[in-house]
């Protein structure tokens, strides 16, 4: 086997491994993992601070505050903090109206980005358990209780809930975004069983305040770095699928482009922050980090390598067939893009487009990371 064939099979094999073989390995390993039992009753619930970073969220902030006030949690044990990152709309005025309900406004005059807002807000919080969330997210009534019960185990340092997408009116990408998140939530559940959930979703996760380390000011994906640093220190990072938060999907896949590129740049940035987690001697956490995250972040390069190397082998029947398959796949992605714009539903074509668009965003994110052109401040995605 010549070098080009080896390059092709390594490139294609890594992509197949990360997306398909790794989940199968997780299922196999779960057969040997004893399920942890958590008590549904607790004599004393800990005091909790909910922190919501917000930037120009006047359209949703009232509903979000009402959602927090309606949560099933002992009276007087829940602090709600809205950390406004230089908002210049009516967000701050709306929040001030809830002062008598125990809602605190941290109104920062200058916009500095979510990570810097959270660094300050967590230091200003009063309680030992911090729940972090977004302004456009809604919690189910018992979500906080279901997160917090994990902290009965002193080995637990972070718990992530489940984000469910609700299809927005007129959405053409909602079914696919929901399908992708079902796949991701399955992986989270498997990894969470080992106490090795890789990062969290910024919509719903809880941490022990004592374990929080302020992130560098230029951190792009703080909801990945914060839990991973806790995991790196040897504490469990659990997943709680019954602690549910909901968000509306975007109307078009293209609306997520900037957000995904930003996350892609942040993913590559985290490698310099979390390099000790790459050490295989760390066991399952390192195995999961390589398999689920690192290899997938570099998937765009492996996809390009597989396509180009396959082109050099096209004279052989097997490789001609494999090249044809790749062409059909990428052609299907283009069809999926057209269908998405026109509002026509076809799961196969749209799923191909979704996969390619995610990897393209990673590639563009890598460019932004290398050129240091990704801003820390986030831009709200209309839903």
Chain-wide mean pLDDT for the chain?
90
CA distance 20 to 183: 11
Comparing CA positions, the residue from 283, 275, 36, 254 lying closest to residue 149 is 36
Give 306-325 pLDDT, tens digit per residue. Answer: 999 999 999 999 999 999 99
CB 97 within 8 A of CB 209: no
Is residue 15 within a helix (H) or strand (E), and if so which, with residue range? helix 3-16
Distance CA 236, CA 239 (A): 10
H/E stretch holding 54 reads strand 48-54
| 8-state DSSP, 173 | S
Give me the mean pLDDT over the 54-62 stretch: 96
CA distance 285 to 191: 9
Residues 253, 180 contacting (CB under 8 angstroms)? no
Q: Are 339 and 346 in contact (CB under 8 A)?
A: yes
DSSP 252: S
Has residue 251 got a pLDDT over 60?
no
- Tell me the average pLDDT across 251-278: 85
- Candidate from 69-78, 95-104, 241-250 with smallest mean pLDDT: 241-250
* Residue 168 reports pLDDT greater than 90: no
Beta strands in 170-233 (DSSP E): 204-208
188-219 confidence digits (pLDDT tens) = 999 999 999 999 989 999 999 999 999 999 99
Residue 345 has pLDDT above 90, yes or no: no
DSSP for 266-322? Answer: HHHHHHHHSGGGG-GGG-HHHHHIIIIIIHHHTHHHHHHHHHHHHHHTTTSHHHHHH
Higher pLDDT, 345 or 139: 139
pLDDT of residue 294: 97
Residue 176, pLDDT > 70, answer no
User: Are 340 and 171 contacting, i.e. CB atoms less than 8 angstroms apart?
Assistant: no
Task: Identify which has the larger pLDDT, 260 or 161.
Answer: 161
Give the span between the Cα atoms of 135 and 140, in whole angstroms: 14
Query: Domain extents for the chain?
Result: 48-285
- Residue 318 pLDDT: 94
pLDDT in tens, 361-382: 999 999 999 999 888 876 665 5
* 119 or 248: which leads in pLDDT: 119
Quote the distance between the C-alpha of residue 123 and its chain's center.
Answer: 23
Average pLDDT of 128-156?
96
Helix (H) or strand (E) holding 366: helix 347-371
Cα separation of the two ends of the chain: 51
pLDDT at 255: 58
- pLDDT of 11 reads 97
Using the predicted structure, report yes or no on whether residue 163 has a pLDDT greater than 80: yes
Q: Is the pLDDT of residue 250 over 70?
A: no
DSSP states along 30-43: HTTSPPPP--S--S
- Beta strands of 102-228 (E only): which ranges? 103-108, 129-134, 138-139, 156-166, 204-208
Determine the Cα–Cα distance for residues 95 and 57; give it in Å rounded to an integer.
Answer: 10
- Exposure string of 260-299, with b = 16+ CB inside 10 Å and e = fewer, is bbbbbbbbbbbeebbeebeeeebeebbbbbbbbbbbbbbb
Query: Would you state the pLDDT for residue 93?
Result: 97
Q: At 258, is the pLDDT very low, low, confident or very high (cuts 50, 70, 90)? A: confident
Residue 70 burial by CB count (10 A; 0-12/13-18/19+): exposed, middle or buried?
exposed
Looking at residue 301, its pLDDT comes to 98
| Residue 56 confidence class, pLDDT cut points 50, 70, 90 | very high
Provide the CA 9 distance to its chain's centre, in angstroms: 30
Query: Which of 17-26, 87-96, 186-195, 337-346 bottoms out in mean pLDDT, i.e. has the lowest?
Result: 337-346
Tell me the pairing of strands 236-248 and 48-54: unpaired
Shortest CA distance to 203 belongs to which of 38, 320, 67? 67
Range 219-240 average pLDDT: 96
Identify the pLDDT of residue 257.
80
Mean pLDDT of 279-307: 97
Q: What is the pLDDT of residues 349-363, one digit of tens each?
A: 888 998 999 999 999
Mean pLDDT of 141-147: 96
Q: What is the mean pLDDT of residues 221-244?
A: 96
Q: Is the dihedral of CA 378, 380, 381, 383 positive or negative?
A: positive
d(CA 291, CA 274): 15
Q: The CATH number of 48-285 is which of 3.90.550.10, 2.30.30.40, 3.40.50.720, 3.40.50.800?
A: 3.90.550.10
pLDDT of residue 328: 97
The residue with greater pLDDT, 119 or 165, is 119
């Amino acid at each position: 086997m010549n070098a080009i064939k080896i390059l092709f099979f390594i490139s294609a094999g890594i992509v197949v491994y990360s997306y398909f073989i790794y989940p199968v390995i997780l299922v196999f390993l779960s057969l040997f993992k004893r399920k942890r039992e958590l008590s549904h009753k607790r004599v004393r619930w800990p005091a909790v601070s909910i922190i919501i970073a917000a930037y120009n969220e006047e359209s949703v902030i009232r509903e979000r505050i009402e959602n927090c006030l309606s949560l099933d949690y002992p009276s007087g044990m829940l602090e709600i903090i809205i950390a406004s990152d230089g908002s210049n709309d009516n967000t701050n005025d709306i929040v001030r109206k809830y002062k008598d309900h125990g809602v605190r406004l941290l109104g920062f005059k200058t916009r500095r980005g979510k990570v810097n807002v959270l660094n300050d807000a967590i230091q200003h919080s009063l309680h030992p358990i911090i729940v972090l969330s977004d302004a456009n997210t809604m919690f189910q009534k018992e979500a906080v209780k279901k997160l917090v019960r994990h902290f009965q185990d002193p080995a637990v340092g972070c718990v992530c809930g489940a984000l469910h997408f609700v299809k927005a009116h007129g959405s053409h990408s909602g079914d696919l975004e929901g399908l992708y998140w079902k796949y991701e939530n399955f992986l989270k559940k498997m990894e969470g069983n080992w106490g090795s959930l890789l990062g969290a979703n910024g919509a719903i996760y809880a941490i022990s305040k004592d374990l929080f380390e302020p992130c560098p000011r230029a951190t792009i994906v703080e909801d990945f770095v914060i839990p991973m640093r806790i995991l790196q220190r040897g504490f469990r990072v659990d997943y709680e699928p019954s602690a549910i938060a909901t968000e509306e999907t975007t109307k078009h896949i293209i609306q997520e482009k900037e957000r995904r590129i930003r996350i892609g740049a942040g993913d590559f940035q985290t490698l310099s922050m979390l390099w000790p987690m790459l050490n295989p001697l760390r066991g399952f956490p390192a195995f999961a980090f390589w398999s689920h995250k690192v290899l997938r972040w570099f998937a765009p390069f492996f996809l390009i390598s597989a396509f180009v190397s396959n082109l050099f082998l096209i004279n052989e029947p097997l490789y001609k067939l494999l090249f044809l398959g790749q062409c059909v796949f990428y052609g299907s992605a283009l069809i999926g893009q057209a269908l998405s714009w026109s509002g026509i539903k076809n799961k196969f074509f749209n799923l191909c487009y979704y996969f390619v668009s995610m990897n393209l965003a990673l590639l563009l994110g890598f460019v932004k990371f290398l050129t240091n052109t990704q801003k820390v401040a986030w831009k709200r995605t209309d839903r």
